[in-house]
């Protein structure tokens, strides 16, 4: 265990160093682009790659999706049936732990993106794998939590609170699951050398999506679990 921690700390130190080096490289690269049209570099009007811009736009759209779902939940959070409501159901220590796991997966994702930026395939694969594993652990926690809630009498159709809670957290869970599939697929394609185009950018895009899903969970955890009903 302590080895992993040490490696993580080393990685973090590397990132700081690499960052300074990257800045230098970028400056050189930009200069290079200006003067050499022979390179197959994608010139774009804004200077940001098409894929990255598209991912940001898509995530902007996703904000509205979760906005709608969160609004529905906030409207219905007090409309429980019987005494099966947030106060009876929430197990804050457990959900805090699974939230922590998901947050840590963002850290491993950062390490994966950083490794990919250095062209370090081995560490990219290790950290993407770790991210998928942590995401899987979070998802397992969610399944466990849903099972407990169901046993305590919170079926999907039992109350407006139940429907909107399961819909909101379920949509988030599906996003995590899709993220895990993307991580594992990218990992496999990386291992087999099947990624066309810029490897580092591909990993970065997976990272953007993954961080977004994490950030949404922070919102959901705060609004759904932490704020008293």
Least distance from C-beta 45 to another protein, angstroms? 4
Q: How far apart are CA 58 and CA 159, in angstroms?
A: 32
The site for another protein (CB under 8 A) is made up of: 37-38, 40, 42, 44-46, 48-51, 53-54, 57-58, 60-65, 67-69, 72, 75-76, 79, 156-157, 159-160, 163-164, 167, 185, 189, 194, 196-197
Q: How far apart are CA 166 and CA 192, in angstroms?
A: 38
Least distance from C-beta 129 to another protein, angstroms? 18
Nearer to another protein, 141 or 170 (CB): 170
Would you list the DSSP string of 126-181?
A: HHHHHHHHHHHHHHHHHHHHHHHHHHTT--TTS-HHHHHHHHHHHHHHHHHHHHHH
CA angle at 19 for the pair 183 and 185, rounded to the nearest 5°: 10
Nearer to another protein, 2 or 45 (CB): 45
| Residue 108 in tokens | 């491993």
Least distance from C-beta 171 to another protein, angstroms? 8
Nearer to another protein, 18 or 150 (CB): 150
């Amino acid at each position: 265990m302590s080895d992993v921690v040490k490696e993580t700390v080393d990685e973090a130190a590397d990132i700081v160093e690499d960052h300074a080096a990257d800045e230098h490289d970028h400056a050189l690269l930009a200069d290079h682009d200006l003067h050499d049209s022979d390179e197959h570099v994608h010139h774009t009007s804004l200077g940001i790659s098409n894929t990255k811009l598209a991912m940001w736009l898509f995530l902007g759209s996703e904000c509205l999706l979760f906005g709608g779902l969160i609004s529905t939940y906030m409207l219905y959070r007090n409309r429980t049936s019987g005494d099966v409501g947030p106060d009876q159901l929430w197990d804050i220590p457990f959900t805090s732990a699974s939230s922590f796991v998901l947050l840590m997966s963002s850290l491993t994702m950062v390490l994966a993106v950083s490794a990919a930026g250095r062209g370090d395939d081995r560490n990219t694969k290790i950290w993407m794998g770790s991210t998928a594993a942590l995401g899987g652990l979070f998802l397992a926690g969610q399944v466990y939590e849903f099972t407990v809630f169901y046993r305590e009498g919170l079926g999907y159709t039992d109350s407006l609170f139940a429907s909107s809670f399961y819909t909101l957290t379920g949509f988030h869970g599906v996003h995590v699951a899709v993220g895990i599939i993307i991580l594992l697929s990218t990992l496999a394609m990386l291992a087999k050398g099947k990624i066309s185009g810029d490897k580092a950018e591909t990993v970065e895009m997976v990272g953007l999506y993954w961080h977004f899903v994490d950030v949404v969970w922070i919102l959901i955890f705060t609004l759904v679990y932490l704020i008293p009903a």
